[in-house]
Amino acid sequence: MGNDFSRREFLATAATVAAGIAAGVAADAPGEPIIDIHQHTNYSGRTDAQLIAHQKALGVTTSVLLPAGRLYGLDADCGRNDTVLALAKKHSQFVFFANEITDVPAAREEITKYLKLGAIGIGEQKFRVACDSPEFQGVAELAQEFGGPVLMHFMHNQYNTGIERFHKVLEKFPKVNFIGHAQTWWGNVDKNHEQKAMYPTTKVTPGGITDRLLSDHPNIYGDLSAGSGLNFFTRDEDHARAFLERHQDKLMFGSDCNDIFGRGPGCQGANILANIRKLAPTKVIERKILFGNAKRVMKL
């Protein structure tokens, strides 16, 4: 869940994007399917009708709905498991994950219930546990049992803490595909990243934790959504371009955007799409990121 930019921070970042991108040119590309791996129901009060219109404006053909747990609403009043199931039943362009607060006693039962009802993965796991905790490993065991990915929000000292140890989880669960997301995930593309920095603006030295995880482990992927994903692009375009090429089989488009229009400088999703199209070194790489990788990982 990417309510991780203040309005001021987001608009400041959007203003640095090239004029055509900042103008929010519609992302529609007729005939080219797009999978958005990161959306939410009731996002900051947005209605289902507004969500549907937003995704259509982006040109998205399949959206993955990520539910909240029983409390907190992923810090943005996002809908729970029942809401994503209901919307996916009504509209075939939506698929959904299952979720629950990692360390509550009923987590396994709740997640299992919705996996059996058709959820294709688990997440967004955005809860106050260590990323290698026994409780999170229980979630990984469920993903292994059902064969779906786990999408994780990494945020220093808050959610899925201890990213420097996450390689141990990847090694313990080699058959589970994990998807990294959010501030600490994208900050750590930089070898010199300061963990307290949520939206770093410095040039990037390759070889950070995220860069190494993607290179060294076949079962970890990157979700380019939210203000953190957009910041990854805009802080150092030369690095972003090389990173997209280096990890072209590991990256997936997500919007994680609570906007209601699907275009314009205030729409994270539109700006992320525009940056992918601008910085992907080839059309082949662009299509992998916008469609092919998610189709494979999500088994769509």
With a cut of 80, say whether residue 230 has pLDDT above it: yes
pLDDT digits (tens, 9 = 90+) for 146-191: 999 999 999 999 999 999 999 999 999 999 999 999 999 999 999 9
What pLDDT score does 35 carry? 98
Q: What is the pLDDT of residue 1?
A: 61
State the pLDDT confidence band at 28, using cuts at 50, 70 and 90: very low
Q: What string of H, E and C letters represents the secondary structure of the chain? A: CCCCCCHHHHHHHHHCCCHHHHCCCCCCCCCCCCEEEEECCCHHHCCHHHHHHHHHHHCCCEEEECCCCCCHHHHCCCCCHHHHHHHHHHCCCEEECECCCCCCCCHHHHHHHHHHCCCCCEEEECCCCECCCHHHHHHHHHHHHHCCCEEEECECCCECECHHHHHHHHHHCCCCCEEEECHHHHHCCCCCCCCCCCCCCCCCCCCCHHHHHHHHCCCEEEECCHHHHHHHHHHCHHHHHHHHHHCCCCEECCCCCCCCCCCCCCCHHHHHHHHHHHHCCCHHHHHHHHHHHHHHHCCC
- Taking 70 as the threshold, does the pLDDT of residue 19 lie above it? no
pTM score: 0.90
